[in-house]
Chain A
């Protein structure tokens, strides 16, 4: 790891104001990302991991209200006025889940890239074309001129995702948030994209925030992992430790639910029960209802994060007595 913390999320709470009520998507999340690190946010659908990613890349929808702080290079991004915030957009870039909708269907890939480059660096059109071609080369797309002229629907999913990565890198970002960038792709393309992201991270000295529900991908790409459940970061630590020695009962169940290719099992294990209603989340441990360690004299008061080793935190009352 080269250098101290680049991005710090402190006590971040994000609420969506919808017609059905206030959805508390992320609650009191704290995360420290060091420069050059790659950190994974793992969780099932609806756990708030994408919302966290959107918040960090400063592109939450208008009906979302974020409280707490996101400190990037010593500046609290949430305290900035919109004009100042605009300067930081692009510093933290993002790759989205579905490459087919990352580009406006009416413009070619080239038009998208040139638009971004000209807006960001105020360069001439010719210069932007040169840079766009360079970006496409960087993401290992062959025949760059053809891709520049292509409309989004004319490219395959894998090529589009590469182009989307090129677009995300066009602003010369320091942090790249990748929100399930491989979920919509088939398995062979998935591994190629993962490989590409790893190579780019090394080459461009990126700090990577990788959002996924796939623990296998997490172990492959990231050195640290944070597990989210119902808007709360329940466990955090080095990827190997989290996956091999999960502390939180939820993580343990998640790891167990990964189907194995080698071991034949009677049935796939799953986690019984459902996510709590995020409009009215439980005050205590969000996983209590589904947790096998819950007893009827369970304490429903808020759970504190416990340091359980170097860089290891867990939010579970099982460990409230444990001291590192």
Chain B
């Protein structure tokens, strides 16, 4: 564990962009966790207030990010939205990985009839345009934070299982799998200890990139009115709430949008470091590149 941590620190030192990614992501996580305690106007944040007199106020010292069409403080709403958006982004990807990895790994490593069966099911899900499937599912499940996450995950996992499947079916014929078989390691052990780590790199990278897209898709569902229900200050919902008035009050959409962009950027930068950490060969390559710089 300590060795892992040291490696991580080392990788960070070699890759300052990764450090920036880590700082961005962790500060957003802290912000999301602490949001309820640092809100200056919690009623505004939760969307319980309506003040005609304070509608569409531009950013000022009193309202850092201005106010929205209901006279609520945008800064407070965006701040509280952090936890919902992160939850949706991370939750969707985690759920999709939890479904996609076992299916892809089993299909790729075991192969045969089981593999074919699992991959045809995957193909069935892939046959739908992803957002369309998510829309259909979300509409069936009804509005709500968890339902949105579930709907997105169900349209998302096939990509991971496909990715894992392709990797696993090529890695399983590598000599080190045979070597592990010869010395008598069990199939399950080979599958999880030797095959899985070797197929994980592209998926982890893809997953870190996808957290951003998941936040965006969740906001698309919210925008269509079948995602997170309105009073919840989810970022996507905030962006879409200011969409119609963007020419008069740009700040309503701009600030939550900015937060989405920065978060996605943070996860992408972090993804690069994770990728590097997962692969010792890359670890050295990056070290070399830094040295030459």
A residues with a Cβ closer than 8 A to B are: 54, 57-59, 61-62, 86-87, 89-90, 92-94, 96-98, 101-107, 115-116, 119-120, 151, 153-154, 164, 167-168, 170-171
Contacts and interface: CB of A to CB of B under 8 A. Distances in A.
A89 B182 contact: yes
Contact of A168 (B176, B183, B279, B281): B183
A95 to B, nearest CB: 9
B189 interface: yes
Contacts of A98: 175
B178 A96 contact: yes
A101 B182 contact: no
10 contacts: A89-B184, A90-B182, A96-B179, A98-B175, A104-B197, A119-B189, A120-B184, A151-B281, A164-B179, A171-B184
Nearest to B189: A119
Given A90-B184, A119-B184, A153 B176 contact: no
B53 interface: no
A90 B179 contact: no
Given A101-B174, A101-B176, A94 B193 contact: no
A59 B175 contact: no
Contact of B179 (A86, A102, A151): A102
Contacts of B174: 101, 104
Interface string B162-193: 00000000000111101111111110010001
A62 B178 CA distance: 11
B181 A89 contact: yes
A90 B186 CA distance: 12
Most buried by A among B111, B181, B278, B284: B181
A93 B183 contact: yes
A86 B187 CA distance: 10
A93 to B, nearest CB: 6
Given A93-B183, A151-B281, A164-B179, A115 B173 contact: no
B129 interface: no
B194 interface: yes
Given A105-B198, A106-B278, A153-B280, A59 B176 contact: no
Contacts of A58: 181-182
A39 B284 CA distance: 42
Given A62-B112, A96-B175, A98-B175, A105 B182 contact: no
A104 B194 contact: yes
A58 B183 CA distance: 10
B276 to A, nearest CB: 13
A311 B184 CA distance: 33
A168 B181 CA distance: 11
B179 A167 contact: yes
Given A62-B112, A98-B175, A153-B280, A170 B183 contact: yes
B192 to A, nearest CB: 12
Interface in B95-121: 111-112
Interface string B28-67: 0000000000000000000000000000000000000000
Nearest to A170: B183
Interface string B252-293: 000000000000000000000000001111001000000000
B280 A105 contact: yes
A86 to B, nearest CB: 6
Contact of B183 (A104, A107, A116): A116
A94 B112 CA distance: 26
Contact of A116 (B178, B185, B281): B185
A86 B184 contact: yes
A94 B280 CA distance: 26
B267 to A, nearest CB: 23
B180 to A, nearest CB: 8
Nearest to B176: A104
Contacts of A154: 284
B198 A61 contact: no
B185 A119 contact: yes
Given A101-B174, A106-B197, A106-B280, A94 B179 contact: yes
A170 B182 CA distance: 11
Nearest to B185: A119
Contacts of B279: 105-106
